Amino acid sequence: MRKIITCIGIRPDIIRLSQIIKILDKHFKNVIVDSGQHYDYNLNKIFYDQLNVREPDYNLDIKSGTHATQVANLMIEFEKTLNKEKPEFVIVLGDNNSSLGFALATSKLNIPLVHIESGMRSKNWLMPEEKNRIVIDHLADMNICYLPEHKENLLREGLNPRRSWIVGNPIIEVVNAVKTNFKQEEPFYLVTCHRAENTEQKQNLELILLFLGKLYEKHQKEIKFILMPKTKNYMEKFGLKFPEGINPIPPQGFLEFLGMEKEAELVITDSGTVVEECAILGTPCLTIRESTERVDLIQLGINCLTGINVEKMLEAGEFILSKEIEPVSHYGKNIAEKICNILLGNSLEFYNNKER
């Protein structure tokens, strides 16, 4: 059997790869490597358990640190794994620091690299994720895109069209595959907020909390705020408190959280995956950021991009609550199978050559 490595960086990678790994396992000798960037049970192992993903073969245990520390440590550790396992090719997904470290180590050894979630662009160069995804896309030998506009982004940057495939968005297969287990009679809103731009700057975090306080004053609906350790640390550092009506809760398992997304009257988030899940479930959703790489959802009117401005966030909230949200229909189907077929049907060596 052809030997490959599938890399897992952080929580959303386990979720998004869960169905893909099951199909790859049937056709390849698939070595799973987890970076260890997320190491708490409720940010890592719970997703393997709930989504029936087998244990990783390697955990590189890189934990947290500055961007440079994380990427550098990951490269050093992953290079050892690559030299030992000698895979035919390596699969990375997304735009986190681990994905970048995996991609750099692979490419430096001239091992063919496959990037899933290729071609998304926020056009915001100050986002760490934008830098990561552009570098990974340009290192990759095969670019697997979700949507046609993502491939167009790659072509605009001069990448070879013969290296890109459009397969649809695998998150829809994950959402369809699981049964959620959350129930609550009382209406509520749901918030996730942990992106660097919203947590590391006091002003933005303060404005978001102010907005949530005003939203509660107006609607008197409980606001559940998923409090990630990182956001908690910054709130303490900046001396910020939750306004009345905001109920901080710890990170949830996927089955619980997806159920909350389904039941919530409104979701407010700076996450990339949460907006997609809300679009699939037909839940009104605000993106509280200055820019987004999920441009399709904004253009379809399923999601509102608010910027970090209290008035605009409040206005957008009223607007999206007044709208009938049609669940998305452009994410495609048989995505995991398509990805596997592309990998089975192509010799990766063909793409990994002098000619770009």
Q: Residue numbers of the site for ligand UDP (CB under 6 A)? A: 11-12, 15, 192, 226, 251-252, 254, 257-258, 271-274, 277
| Residue type (1 letter), 279 | A
CB of 258 to ligand UDP, least distance (A): 6
User: What angle do the packed helices 202-219 and 229-238 form, to 10 degrees?
Assistant: 100
Structure tokens at 37: 């960037």
**Closest CB to ligand UDP among residues 111, 267:** 267
Nearer to ligand UDP, 28 or 257 (CB): 257
Q: Least CB distance from residue 181 to ligand UDP, whole Å?
A: 12
- The H or E element containing residue 45 is helix 45-50
Nearest residue (CB) to ligand UDP, 206 versus 256:
256
Mark whether 194 is an active-site residue.
Answer: yes
Q: In angstroms, what CA-CA distances link 181 with 253, 263, 324?
A: 10, 11, 25
Shortest Cβ distance from residue 275 to ligand UDP (Å)?
8
Would you say 4 or 235 has its CB closer to ligand UDP? 235
| Least Å from the CB of residue 174 to ligand UDP | 8
Q: How far apart are CA 279 and CA 331, in angstroms?
A: 10
Beta strands in 28-102 (DSSP E): 29-34, 58-59, 89-93
Say which of 138, 150, 194, 219 is annotated catalytic.
194
Question: 81: Cβ–Cβ under 8 A, 6 or more apart, which residues?
Answer: 5, 31, 33, 58, 60
Q: How far is the CB of 226 from ligand UDP (least distance, A)?
A: 4
Hey, is 234 helix, strand or coil? helix
| CA–CA distance, 112 with 100 (Å, rounded to integer) | 15
Which residues form the catalytic set? 194
